[in-house]
Amino acid sequence: MGLIEQLALQKQTIVHKWFARVIASYPAETARFLSSQKDPFANPVGQTTRQSLTTLIELLTSTPDAAAMRAALDPVMRIRAVQSFSPAQAMGFVFELKAIIRQELPAKELTLAQWATMEQRIDQMALEAFDLYMQCREKIYELKANEMKDRTYKAFAKAGLIKEPADE
Amino acid sequence: MADETPKAAQLLAKINYTPQAKQWMDVPVQIRKGMYCYAGNPKSLEYLGFPNARQWNPVEEDWKLPENWQQILHEGFKERLERFRSIKVFMDICVRCGACADKCHFFIGTGDPKNMPVLRAELLRSIYRNDFTTAGKLFGKLAGARPMTLEVLKEWWYYLFQCTECRRCSLFCPYGIDTAEITIFGRELLNLLGLNIDWIATPAANCYRTGNHLGIQPHAFKDMIDFFCDDIETITGLKPEPNFNMKGADILFVTPSGDVFADPGTYTCMGYIMLFHYLKEKYGLKVTWSTYASEGGNFGFFTSHETMKRLNAKMYLEAKRLGVKWILGGECGHMWRVIHQYMDTMNGPADFLQEPVNPITGTKFENAKSTKMVHIAEFLADLIKHGKLDLKPERNDNKILTFHDSCNTSRGMGMFDEPRYVIQNVANHFYEMPANTIREQTFCCGSGSGLNAGENMEQRMAGGLPRANAVKYVHEKFGVNMLACVCAIDRAALPPLMQYWVPEVQVTGLTELVANALVLPEEQERTTDLRGEPLPGMEEADE
């Protein structure tokens, strides 16, 4: 049986362990809440994270699809980009998946080539996560800049204090 | 000894991403960029008569405190415990059951345990126990007490300005502890040391001096409204002539200045002007604006009781001077909490005003019997209920709406159905967000109580996550593209929140929707809405 097939069989266990690792990046009191509250509106961080991880594991076991992977990573990266994580902490969870898969799938049954494919897919995931993280941070800075610009410029413009050059 | 330098692999193996499990008192505060607002401008503090006005920076070690700052805090604490029975009770009765812990949008969004309302309150309770209880004095940390240090003070400042006083947590407290009041109290203490944020101090000072947050003078305020009248003329062919400072008018109208100066609130403001024009033409109702009471919002509420009272006083003073019958209030959040819960006892009784009756429908606004001030959503719902407005809801057909309950109008004054009734009569597509995110359980925009500055954008995005998450759900399920609200801070804070989390959704005020649907007497055929966007079916006419 190939790596992908084995991974598909172990999907639930792997998602479960991966989720536990991601949630452990939060303080203990928070982690308890994030993993126990099942209502997605009372606990958007926990439930969005769980959903994202589940989709990502499903994508690992199917034909590579960069756009789908990006769409699955977006919600979780969007959250982690505004929380108190360093960039490495925000996206480090992607690399943790390698260790989890190695633990769960007996290495001796797998070929080097299979591992190489899997690692490549996870690395691809990490690169997507990094892009998304940066996009989110850039969006935050854009929003900050716009807030400042709008408040002064628009107030001046409305008060008739800004004169555009007249058309010749 | 030869090989002491660790190898890269050894170092990597030591990386542990799991935070250490520590008692909360042992976790030192880290003031993180993006999570706090700039310090208050000393000029604004001076203007408001607050002590210790000076330049300071929260991330610098030295906060330039007065030498006896601990004594000032202790005495301030003591004075307020004697003055406010509620604070004394709230300090004593919490059993740390944890019902509030996971209800705060800042805790849910940031994941920081000190944003659990119970822990935020513990920041103050630990000092209360140390200074004012026998158990705390005898047993110290064992009894949950700790002395006031600079580290603790910084923690107070950081977390008391990570609470929007929205009161969602108090809804779940079996003892009815109002954590917002604990924050209000804590911020009042911080003000004794000159520890405010500029986004609060400067609007409060401007309000006190010129009557509104931006410090816009009376003539400029009038100019702005005149500009809106020009825009209304372009859209409808009719130019309203609003009344300013009109003695003997029936009703004084007060709204937050955000509606006059900040998009998309400006469209709501155009809505008010059109509504009053309609009521004047049809029913002869005389509503007046005031350039003196030109601010409904009250950032004094976020500093001290005294400042709140001083800023609020303008409403009754102006109503008395103009000799109106009662006051109509625009779409605002905390303005309504101040009116509903404090104004009557703080600056009332307003016995020179009449108990509000809608002169067009005869409806008595029993709920406003004492304050003499009616919310515009109540007023609109009453007019619609009696068929007094000529409406074309199909003009809003391109808007698929949901409604965000402002914390202060929902939890602060119990207004749930009026805005929904209005929306459903002026638009045809309306969908509710999930039940545990609306009405009394509504999630805050994440930027209330003076936290809608630009520099704390990470804080605002994290705090607004639970609200945005529910909007995202109705966007994906029903195609919602417009988030309606009845609060000026919401109108300023929700657009960036949506741009980050659900960029497909825009934000509108309630009265803007009404004015889009409202058919003014003798108006020209409209091709656009108030924003200049083509009306449904008019896409070609607009080109």
Measured in angstroms, the CA of A64 and the nearest CA of chain B are apart by 25
- Between CA B206 and CA B422 the distance in angstroms is 34
Q: Residue B509: enclosing H or E segment and its boundaries?
A: strand B506-509
CA end-to-end span of chain B = 82
Q: How confident is the model at residue B485 (pLDDT cuts 50, 70, 90)?
A: very high
What local confidence, expressed as pLDDT, does residue B1 receive?
A: 47
In chain A, residues with a C-beta closer than 8 Å to the C-beta of B102 are 33, 37, 42-43
A residues 67-106 near B, CB within 8 Å?
78-79, 82-84, 89, 92
- Please give the share of chain B, as a percent, with pLDDT higher than 90: 89
Whether B289 and B146 map to the same domain: the answer is no
More confident residue, B439 or A107: B439
B-chain residues near A159 (CB < 8 A): 216, 220, 223-224
Q: Hey, what are B542's tokens?
A: 């607009």
Give the mean pLDDT of chain B.
94
User: Within this chain, do residues B191 and B254 fall inside the same structural domain, yes or no?
Assistant: no
Report the domain count for chain B. Answer: 2
Tell me if B70 sits within 8 A of B63, measured CB to CB.
no
The first and second tokens of residue B270, run together, are 């155009």
Least confident of A42-51, A111-120, B24-33, B114-123: A111-120
Return the C-alpha torsion angle B430, B433, B434, B438, nearest 10: -110
Cα–Cα distance, A125 to A155 (Å, whole number): 44
pLDDT, residue A26, reads 95
State which residue of chain A sits closest to B454, comparing Cα positions. Answer: A144
Taking CB atoms and an 8 Å limit, are A33 and B101 in contact across chains?
yes
| A84/B437 CB distance under 8 A | no
State yes or no: cis peptide before B264, omega within 30 of 0: yes
In order, the DSSP letters of B31-89 are --TTSSPPBPPHHHHHHHT-SS-----TTSS-----TTHHHHHHHHHHHHHHH-HHHHH
**A150 interfaces chain B, CB cutoff of 8 Å:** yes
In a domain, B6, yes or no: no
Sign of the Cα pseudo-torsion (B8, B14, B18, B19, in order): negative
List chain B residues with CB under 8 Å of A39: 436
Shared-domain flag, residues B151 and B238: no
Q: Which residue in A25, A93, A144, A146 has the most chain B C-beta atoms within 10 A of its own C-beta, making it the best mutation to test that interface?
A: A144
Any CB–CB contact under 8 A between A146 and chain B?
yes
Report yes or no: B256 and B269 within 8 Å, Cβ to Cβ: no
What is the reported pLDDT for A158?
63
> Looking at the predicted structure, is the pLDDT value of residue B458 above 90?
yes
Our CA-based measurement puts residue A9 at a distance from the nearest CA of chain B, in whole angstroms, of: 28
The full DSSP string for B226-269 is HHHHHHHHHHHS-----EES-TT-SEEEE--THHHHSTTHHHHH
B110, B224: one domain: no
The 3-state secondary structure of B119-147 reads HHHHHHHHHHHHHHCHHHHHHHHHHCCCC
Cβ partners under 8 Å of residue B472, min gap 6:
B501, B502
Show Cβ contacts of residue B126 under 8 Å, excluding neighbours closer than 6 positions. B25, B144, B145, B146, B152
Tokens of B121: 């309150």
- Preferred mutation among A22, A49, A50, A82 to probe B, highest tally of B CBs within 10 A: A82
What structural domains does chain A harbor? 3-158 (1.10.490)
* Partner-chain residue, chosen from A27, A33, A84, that has the shortest CB–CB distance to B102: A33
Residue B506: phi and psi, rounded to 5, are: -105, 175
The residue ranges of chain A whose pLDDT is under 70 are 1, 107-109, 152, 154-168
Q: Which of B196, B228, B247 is the last residue of a domain?
A: B196
Mapped onto helix, strand or coil, the DSSP state of residue B430 is: strand
Domain that holds residue B66: 19-196
Domain end marker among B167, B196, B225: B196
Can you tell me the distance from the alpha carbon of B310 to that of B297, in angstroms, rounded to the nearest whole number?
Answer: 13
Cross-chain residue pair B17–A160, CB shorter than 8 Å:
no
If you search the block for the tokens 């308890």, which residue do you land on? A32
Q: In this complex, is the C-beta atom of B214 within 8 Å of any C-beta atom belonging to chain A?
A: yes
pLDDT tens string B309-351: 999 999 999 999 999 999 999 999 999 999 999 999 999 999 9
> Where does a domain end: B196, B221, B246?
B196
Mutual orientation of helices B265-283 and B488-501 as an angle, nearest 10°?
140
- What are A54-103's pLDDT values in tens digits? 999 999 888 888 999 999 999 999 999 999 999 999 999 999 999 999 88
Phi, psi of B317 (to 5 degrees): -60, -45
Tell if the CB–CB gap between B457 and A140 is shorter than 8 Å: yes
Residue B324's closest CA among B370, B296, B285, B282? B285
Question: Are A82 and B462 inside 8 Å of each other by CB?
Answer: yes
Q: Mutating which of A143, A148, A153, A156 best tests the B interface, going by the most B Cβ atoms within 10 A?
A: A143
Based on the domain organization, do B128 and B150 belong to the same domain?
yes
Note whether A30 contacts B461, CB cutoff 8 Å: no
Exposed/middle/buried for residue A88 (C-beta within 10 Å: 0-12, 13-18, 19+): exposed
Assess contact for B393 and B517: CB atoms under 8 A: yes
* The predicted structure's pLDDT at residue A107: 67
* Residue B235 CA from chain centroid, whole number: 31
B542: pLDDT strictly greater than 90: no
Residues B358 and B447 in one domain: yes
In a domain, B398, yes or no: yes
Residues of A in contact with B116 (CB under 8 A): 29
* Distance from C-alpha of A9 to C-alpha of B187, rounded to nearest angstrom: 55
Which helix (H) or strand (E) segment is B155 a member of? Answer: helix B150-160
Same domain? For B290 and B237 the reply is yes
> What tokens were used for B210?
């010129």
Higher pLDDT, B452 or A109: B452
Domain membership of residue B8 (yes or no) is: no
Which of B34, B227, B455 shows the shortest C-beta gap to A158?
A: B227
Q: For chain A, what's the residue count? A: 168
Rama region for B111: left / alpha / beta (φ>0; ψ in -120 to 50; rest): left
Side-chain-side CA neighbours of residue A7 (13 Å): 22
- Which residues, 6 or more positions from B188, have their beta carbon under 8 angstroms from its beta carbon? B76, B80, B303, B304, B305
Residue ranges of B 306-325 with Cβ closer than 8 A to chain A: none
Q: Is B11 part of a structural domain of the chain?
A: no
B427 and B335 within one domain:
yes
Q: For residue range B49-80, list pLDDT tens digits in order.
A: 999 999 999 999 999 999 999 999 999 999 99
Would you say residue B25 lies in a domain? yes
Residue B543, pLDDT score: 52
**B436 and A143: CB-CB below 8 Å?**
no
Assess whether B191 and B220 both reside in one domain.
no
Q: Is residue B287 within 8 Å of residue B513, measured between CB atoms?
A: no
For chain A positions 8-67, those within 8 Å of chain B (CB to CB) are 24-30, 33-34, 37, 39-45, 48
B window 485-514, beta carbon within 8 A of A: 496, 499-501
Interchain contact, A140 vs B113, CB within 8 Å: no
Q: What is the pLDDT of residue B7?
A: 78
Is the bond leading into B349 cis (omega within 30 degrees of zero)? yes
What pLDDT is recorded for position A93? 96
Give one DSSP letter per residue of A17-60, joined into a string.
Answer: HHHHHHHTTS-HHHHHHHHH---TTT-HHHHHHHHHHHHHHHHH
- The reply to whether B230 and B279 lie within a common domain is yes
Instruction: Report the gap between the CA of B350 and the closest CA in chain A (Å).
Output: 35
Tokens 């990490």 label which residue?
Answer: A126
Nearest CA in chain B to A92: B17
**Tokens at residue A72, please?**
């699955």
Cβ within 8 Å, pair B32-A24: no
Question: Do B176 and B263 fall into the same domain?
Answer: no
Radius of gyration of chain A measured on its C-alpha atoms = 22
The answer on B313 and B168 residing in a single domain is no
Q: Residue written as tokens 């004593």?
A: B92
Q: What is the ipTM of this complex?
A: 0.93
